[in-house]
Amino acid sequence: MTENSDEQKGVDSALDFLLSATESAPQKAPKMGRRIRLFFALCVFFIALPLALSIFLWRAPAQFPSDSLISVRDGATLQEVSTLLGERGAVRSPFWFKAWSILLGGNGGLKAGDYYLSGPVPVYTLAERFTAGLQGLTAVTVTIPEGLSNVEVAKVLLKSLPRLNKERFLNLAKAKEGYLFPDTYAFLPNEKEEDVIAEMEQNFRKRTETLAQDIKLFGKPLRDIVTMASLIEGEARTPETRRQISGILWKRLALGMPLQVDAVFPYILGKNTFEVTTDDLKVDSPYNTYKYAGLPPGPINNPGLDAITATITPTPTKYLYYLSDKDGVMHYAITHEEHLRNREKYLGK
């Protein structure tokens, strides 16, 4: 009796345990599900958020310095270059540039040189370029029109060569006015000022080589020819009128008359010829061909081949005076009185 009672108690206890477990199971299951979902949510949060943030930081900044050069000096550290790129707005995170550079370049480090940034690229692309020395320098085309002064040439160059130092260029080119040949050039974005000047000078020598014999036969020093050509370049636009004006100016020069060329005033004062006043004609400058007889001290612009050709092939003429009306039509006169009538008729002054 006792043994059976103990067995019954064991069976009863087992039944009670199963019953209690069965009754409590529905209450614990939802709690377990919530905990699993929370666990996975935290995993996603702590993995996805840093990944998303990293991807954002790898993207090019909105203020990326397109069409610019960034120079890496020889011996520059990775930290210095990373900081420089951050300051220039090329990367969002200097840290990630360093990380990608180490990953892509290993112990090779960064390559010194000038890197051209044409447009926005992600940080890992920059790291790849700087570790591999891919500078991306592509020649840019620059067209220098005929008749520009050195100051105007510098302005045109700066539009395509932002690294050009205007003051240094003008200082080096000061004695080169007239010899920076107008043409279309292909320069690298990091071209040095002296190299630009040297190439334009060399082009002048090359392009005028075909005229060497004619220049020699003309019997005037090259500097006088280039100076006169710069005046003609500023005064006329067609080959015919250039040769006509060449004949007039050489004739006035031979007679000892002032050349009275209006084209010098944009060079002296920065005014165009139609803005010149009577008072401007009295300005004390060695380039003022109204005040001083003879050729100016040097060219006032960089003439093209056509103006140089017209200078050494003047048209024999009976005229001593000329003017251009507001439509660009040239009117000639033999006497000063006839010239004054032309001024009144065509210019109203």
Look at 11 and 275; give whichever has higher pLDDT: 275
Average pLDDT over residues 208-223: 96
Average pLDDT over residues 151-161: 95
In a domain, 326, yes or no: yes
- Give the count of beta carbons closer than 10 Å to the beta carbon of residue 285: 16
Look at 314 and 38; give whichever has higher pLDDT: 314
pLDDT for 11: 39
pLDDT for 299: 98
In a domain, 215, yes or no: yes
Checking if the pLDDT of 260 tops 50, the result is yes
Q: What percent of the chain has pLDDT over 70?
A: 83
**Angle at 13 (CA atoms; ends 9, 17), nearest 5 degrees:** 170
pLDDT for 328: 86
pLDDT for 272: 74
Average pLDDT over residues 300-329: 95
pLDDT for 105: 83
Of 80, 101, 132, the last residue of a domain is: 132
Name the band, by pLDDT with cuts 50, 70 and 90, for residue 326.
Answer: confident
Between CA 245 and CA 235 the distance in angstroms is 8
pLDDT for 40: 59
Nearest Cα to 255, choosing from 311, 293, 297, 299? 293
In a domain, 62, yes or no: no
In a domain, 271, yes or no: yes
pLDDT in tens, 290-299: 999 999 999 9
Round the average pLDDT of the chain to a whole number and report it: 86
In a domain, 203, yes or no: no
Least confident of 16-30, 116-130, 139-153, 224-238: 16-30
Look at 34 and 330; give whichever has higher pLDDT: 330
* SS3 state of residue 203: helix
pLDDT for 41: 54
Cα dist. 155→11, 120, 158, 170, 245 in Å?
Answer: 104, 26, 5, 11, 29
> What's this model's pTM, rounded to 2 decimal places?
0.73
In a domain, 294, yes or no: yes
Average pLDDT over residues 305-327: 95
Residues 224 and 336 in one domain: yes
In a domain, 159, yes or no: no
Q: DSSP label at 67?
A: S
Q: How many domains does the chain have?
A: 2
Domain carrying residue 99: 68-132
State how beta strands 330-333 and 68-72 pair: unpaired
Average pLDDT over residues 280-287: 92
In a domain, 125, yes or no: yes
The CATH number of residue 89's host domain is 3.30.1490.480
pLDDT in tens, 1-57: 444 444 344 434 443 443 444 444 444 456 666 666 666 555 555 565 555 555 656
